[in-house]
Amino acid sequence: MAMSSIERVTAALELREPDRVPTMDVMEEYSNIYEILGKKPVPLGFLVDNKYASRLFDLACPLVNKLHLIDREMDHFSHDRVDASVRMGYDSVWTMHVPIWRFPDSKTATDIYGRYYDLVVDHKGNIGTPMYRGGLLSGPDDWDAWDKKDILRLPERANRAFSHIQKDFGNDIFILGSFLFGLFETCWQPFGFERFAVMIRREKEFMRRYIKFYEDLYCMMIEAWADAGLPGAVYSDDQAYRSGPMLNPKMMEEFFGDSFRRITETAHRLGMKIVVHTDGDVYPLIGWFADCGFDGVHALEPTAGVELAKVKEMVGDRMCLLGNVDVTHILVDATREEVFADIKQRIADAGKGGGYIVAPTNSHPGMRLERLRWMLEAVEEYGHYPLKV
């Protein structure tokens, strides 16, 4: 008898064999999501690119920020992206709810944590995820004076949004809640990496207090997601470049290890599964993630040299593996034969015994729906247990 999507994903996260290798959607791109839903959104990129429209947007920005219009749009978007995942036939969806952006003008954005960004427009004229450029904080005094009201409202907003999403789609798909950003990114980006590197050596007392604030916030977010009925979470926190970890793993343990363990313990106490996401070469971190109690790890980026079979050998008996499907070629411009061959190899590398979920390594505006559908078809072809690959 076929399992439900919820049962299938739960089995994989518990390192058991389901009836079929599960799939997870990570897509956060407006153009693809609304194509799936049959909607025709107005591409708002002209507010950035058109000099006349951008001047009007400049004038409107104070009112947009005051009325939290972007926050309301995020509620709708998070709901739509789960709807799209269900319609595509995924077993699980990593969905973010991030009411964090503010717009000083038509070219830039800031967030409630203290970062600034450039606004970007995708190939279809939609405003994409803003591109991080730097921090707005220079030291402890700036942080102590920072207006934290919107940060402290995040759990309540998340609970409201995800309660609605879980009610509408929770029987059809395994929903993994998430928000931006994890502790590491949130602790270095508002200051910039050079300043952060100095502070963790010279201002340790402040850094521990600063990290503790966001540790508490993250645990409150997990409580909010659990109260909304979500079965799982993705702890998204990029910690590595393609060349290796951004910070020495020993320092990661010193400053973040206890926080990570409290986060995973909070999720487990509430009956939730929790997966860690980071791009880059994660080989030096992978065992530590398991030690911290994460149920799974994503993205296992092949363009960073991460080999799925090697990770399976390293931690496959301790964590579920998610991802490793390339978003630079396979899901962008590969042939159907290439997509099928790639998915067949991913399943062969990590599917034995359970504990693998097929997923793209990340969201990317270049991904094409046709290739994503081929990926799902390939899982149906090769992913049923007992595996024949």
- Can you tell me the mean pLDDT for 118-133? 83
pLDDT of residue 37: 94
Neighbouring-strand partners of residue 274: 233
User: For the segment 198-217, what is each residue's pLDDT rounded down to a tens digit?
Assistant: 999 999 999 999 999 999 99
Asked if residue 137 has pLDDT above 90, the reply is: yes
Give the long-range contacts of residues 196-201, CB within 8 A, separation 24 or more.
199/139, 200/251, 200/255
Confidence of residue 329 (pLDDT cuts 50, 70, 90): very high
- Can you tell me the mean pLDDT for 124-152? 91
Confidence of residue 27 (pLDDT cuts 50, 70, 90): confident
Mean pLDDT over the full length of the chain: 94
Confidence of residue 67 (pLDDT cuts 50, 70, 90): confident
Confidence of residue 114 (pLDDT cuts 50, 70, 90): very high
pLDDT of residue 136: 96
- Reading phi first (left if > 0) and then psi (alpha if -120 to 50, else beta), residue 280 is in left
Confidence of residue 73 (pLDDT cuts 50, 70, 90): confident
pTM assigned to the model: 0.95
Positive or negative: CA dihedral 377, 382, 383, 385: positive
334 Cα distance to chain centroid? 24
Domains of the chain by range and CATH?
A: 5-42+74-105+150-382 (3.20.20.210)
Instruction: Look up residue 61 and give its two tokens.
Output: 């920005």
- Can you tell me the mean pLDDT for 111-125? 88
6 Cα distance to chain centroid? 19
pLDDT of residue 72: 85
Say how far apart CA 338 and CA 278 lie, in whole Å.
26
Asked if residue 258 has pLDDT above 90, the reply is: yes
Say how far apart CA 220 and CA 187 lie, in whole Å.
18
C-alpha closest to that of 258 among 295, 219, 227: 219
- Can you tell me the mean pLDDT for 217-232? 98
Q: What percent of the chain has pLDDT over 90?
A: 83
Asked if residue 260 has pLDDT above 90, the reply is: yes
Say how far apart CA 343 and CA 213 lie, in whole Å.
41
Confidence of residue 64 (pLDDT cuts 50, 70, 90): confident
- Can you tell me the mean pLDDT for 44-51? 82
pLDDT of residue 68: 85
Range from 48-57, 98-107, 123-132, 162-171 carrying the lowest mean pLDDT: 123-132
Q: What percent of the chain has pLDDT over 70?
A: 100
